[in-house]
Amino acid sequence: MEPVHIDARGLHYTPLNQQIRRAVSEGTTEIIVDNVLGQRFIADGLKGEVTIRINGVPGGDLGMFMNGPTCIVKGNCDHAPGNTMDSGKIVIHGSAGDAVAHSMRGGKVFVRDDIGYRGGIHMKEYGEDHKPILVIGGNACSFLGEYMAGGVIIVLGKSSNPFGGRGVGSGIHGGEIILRGELKERQLGVGAKITEFTEEDLEKINPYIEDFCGYFEIDPEKYLDTKYTKIVASSSRPFAGKYVWE
């Protein structure tokens, strides 16, 4: 079946998403959407084995509640791509805004460059079948992995700038945040701690790094070592004593 082409120039997000859903219901396996500029909610709640190639800059909540499809963005992305996504993939050939992978509960999000604040906030997992993965090629801003309950966040920091965010893992009570390079204790949020990154950890994240580098045509060799910092929860109840009055 030939790909379905949609021109989004000047389209409101509602008719655009109606066209995408119609194409999926008719059995297409590939949709190419050109001239995207800020349209929100693309592929939200969409199910199936379809690839959506988005040329332009999609608006907020790309792939929210998505279950299965792959979205490939040739450009930057607005806030919260992968919000509460259940399964599938989002591949962003650029940077993304705040709250990337917000409450994501399955699937994978790959961002070639940087993301904004509160990336991976409240990510959660349900066993190996629903373990969300967020891989960031560049850097992230403060409060990365805030209230994180599961999954894995990997920051490769492929630029020369060190990670400068604060409040990393604030309120974390599950999952792992893995940053390339060193992180100072003062950059950690409440409830987060730094632990040793081992060869076993590297073996676990190797497939995600290989996937990332494959999507963006990057040589993975320089990332396949133990020069990472691993952040985990110091407690399953990081704020247990914060709201107690006597």
112-133 mean pLDDT: 94
Q: Which percentage of the chain shows pLDDT scores above 90?
A: 90
Give the pTM: 0.95
Query: Is the confidence at residue 99, as pLDDT, over 70?
Result: yes
Could you give the CA distance from residue 151 to residue 162 in angstroms, rounded to a whole number? 23
Percent of the chain whose pLDDT exceeds 70 = 96
Band (245; pLDDT cuts 50, 70, 90): low
Mean pLDDT taken over the chain: 94
The predicted-structure confidence for 198-241, as pLDDT tens digits, reads as follows 999 999 999 999 999 999 999 999 999 999 999 999 987 776 66
> Residue 158 — pLDDT band, cuts 50, 70, 90?
confident
Domains by residue range for the chain, with CATH = 4-233 (2.160.20.60)
34-43, 176-185, 215-224, 232-241 — which is least confidently predicted?
Answer: 232-241
Is pLDDT of 67 > 70?
A: yes
pLDDT, residue 87, reads 96
Residue 169: its pLDDT value, please?
97
Residue 128, pLDDT above cutoff 60: yes
* pLDDT band per the 50, 70, 90 thresholds, residue 134: very high
| Three state DSSP letters for 171-184 | CCCEEEEEEECCCC
Average pLDDT, stretch 85-111?
98
Quick check: 154 pLDDT over 70?
A: yes
